[in-house]
Amino acid sequence: MGGGAAGFFLSARLKRLLPEARVVLFERSSRVLAKVKVSGGGRCNLTNSFAGVSDLCHVYPRGHKLMKRLLREFSHEDAYCWFETHGVPLTTQEDECVFPQSQNSESVILCLKREAESAGVEIRTGCPVQSIERSDNGGLQLVFDGGATTPCLFDRVALTTGGAPRGEGHDWLSALGHKIEKPCPSLYTFNINTPALTSLMGIVVENVSVGIAATKFRAEGALLITHWGVSGPAILRLSSYAARYMDEQAYEVPLLINWTGETNVEQVAQELRNLQNEAPRRQLGNLHPFGLQNRLWVYLLERAGLTSEKPCGELGSKGINRLVHVLTSDSYAVAGKGAYRDEFVTCGGVSLESVSMRTLESKSCPGLYFAGEVLDIDAVTGGFNFQAAWTTAYVAAGAIAASLEN
Ligand SMILES: Cc1cc2nc3c(=O)[nH]c(=O)nc-3n(C[C@H](O)[C@H](O)[C@H](O)COP(=O)(O)OP(=O)(O)OC[C@H]3O[C@@H](n4cnc5c(N)ncnc54)[C@H](O)[C@@H]3O)c2cc1C
């Protein structure tokens, strides 16, 4: 159920493993693989080299334990190799994100479609599955919205319906005994109503550290000032780490920005003192500490109550303290999440407690399997979400095939 990344990968693999089985992929809309199409800005960041990943919990805030286990069966290297051997040459960017060499998601779509069709998967679009019921003979009956005309009794069903930030389709899953982790959005930008900040739109600070005050949520990376607030990898990462908390707080939280990326506050103070000693008569506005762009630096001076014209030597320890505070703990009230949706995933979904860690089969409804974003697994940006789709689909397909062979 669900003709997205996970659904295609799973059904194609299953049909290859069990050529004699009838494998049908039902998609509710008229178009399959719609998210693959728009992913990665139309280029599809389909996995990551994982070279910069020291611990999976940094990239999979939800589901890292399960991913650790499942990646042993189908890793990013396996995904890389799979796509290359199925006619999609890939390239790994400097930031470790993997894209098709064509820089066009269409290559991935064509590959998945070709693979499913050549394996013999029947693809049915315009088939919105409403629920599943267990039939008297032990099979699983698909119930379609608006009544079905298709024969729809199956021995096994895989649910690959993707994320549902408003919990669509979760009622019947709960009724079948599955625990649902409350869904909420992840990977979004922050709105900030501070005109002096947003007037700096377009400025990118390469290495900031951001966090939510009075919590442990912190993230690092580049930050982009936008006309509505802040964006960029550091903010998207923070939105992912704090997805549930932010939802509970109705997206109104105090955001802390360390513009220097230097977490040692004393180090920041020392650097300012050094500048002061080196050129006491130089005006503050003419300094370029921490690689900050001049417009941003002048703005931060103003936030610290200092004028650009003030000579460095007149900063005094109070001035240094105020400046250090603004540089390392600049605080803004987040006023909602941004509407900009470059990448957007659902945090929550079918609880991992409700599925077998080994097979991804439902614990309460034998014969029903899960893969992809419908599960309570989600990642930061960088190709990790698609990797979760490939990996879980691979494992579920293998488990379904094994269960039918036995
Ligand atoms: C704009 C955008 C860009 C992204 N870019 C990237 C990226 O570059 N790299 C990355 O790793 N991740 C990216 N993601 C995340 C990634 O797209 C998802 O994590 C991934 O698509 C999940 O795959 P899936 O198959 O589980 O779900 P989906 O791709 O959402 O597919 C689910 C399918 O099921 C269908 N469906 C739903 N309900 C039913 C039903 N009841 N009956 C029948 N069919 C149903 C849906 O119509 C859909 O086609 C992006 C997401 C967005 C929104």
Mean pLDDT for each consecutive 10-residue tract of the chain (406 residues)? Answer: 98 98 97 97 97 97 98 98 98 97 98 98 95 88 76 92 86 94 95 97 97 97 96 96 97 98 91 91 92 96 96 92 96 91 86 98 97 98 97 98 90
Query: What pLDDT was estimated at residue 145?
Result: 86
Helix and strand numbers, DSSP H then E, in the chain: 13, 18
DSSP state of 272: H
Cβ of 160 less than 6 Å from ligand 1: yes
pLDDT of residue 405: 87
For ligand 1, whether the C-beta of 3 sits within 6 Å is yes
Place of tokens 């599943």: 132
Rounded distance between C-alpha atoms, residue 38 and residue 60, angstroms: 22
CA-CA distance, 360 to 256, in Å (whole number)?
39
- Residue 328: count of CB within 10 angstroms of its CB: 21
Residues 9/389, Cβ–Cβ less than 8 Å: yes
Nearest residue to 160 via CA among 366, 18, 360:
360
* Ligand 1 in reach of 148 Cβ (< 6 A): no
Name every residue whose Cβ is closer than 8 Å to that of residue 292 and which is 6 or more positions away in sequence. 205, 259, 260, 300
* Residue 275 Cα to ligand 1 middle (Å): 51
Is the Cα torsion angle 348, 354, 356, 362 positive or negative in sign?
negative
CA–CA dist 16, 121 (Å, integer): 9
Distance of CA 349 from the midpoint of ligand 1 (Å) = 13
3-state secondary structure 151-203: CCEECCEEECCCCCCCCCCHHHHHHCCCCEEEEEEECCCEEECCHHHHCCCCC
Measured between alpha carbons, how far is 253 from 244 in angstroms, rounded to an integer? 12
Compute φ and ψ for 291, nearest 5 degrees: 65, 20
Closest C-alpha to ligand 1, atom 29: 4
In angstroms, the CA 380 to CA 188 distance is 11
Question: Ligand 1 centroid to 257 CA: how many Å?
Answer: 32
| 35 touches ligand 1 (CB under 6 Å) | yes
5-185+343-405 adopts what CATH topology? FAD/NAD(P)-binding domain (3.50.50)
Say whether 287 sits in a helix, a strand or coil: coil
Pick the atom of ligand 1 nearest to 371's CA.
Answer: 26
Q: Helix or strand or coil: residue 354?
A: helix
What is the pLDDT at residue 164?
87
pLDDT of residue 148: 58
Classify each residue of 337-360 as buried b or exposed e, where b means 16 or more C-beta atoms within 10 Å of its C-beta: bbeeeebbbbbbbbebebbeeeeb
Does ligand 1 have an atom closer than 6 angstroms to the CB of 39?
Answer: yes
What was the pLDDT predicted at 342? 65
3 state SS of 51:
coil
Taking the CA of residue 29 as reference, the ligand 1 atom at the shortest distance is: 47
128 Cα nearest atom in ligand 1: 42
List, by residue range, all CATH 3.50.50.60 domains of the chain.
Answer: 5-185+343-405
Could you tell me if 40 and 88 are in contact, meaning their C-beta atoms sit under 8 angstroms apart?
no
Question: What is the rounded distance in angstroms from the CA atom of residue 168 to the CA atom of residue 337?
Answer: 21
pTM of the model: 0.95
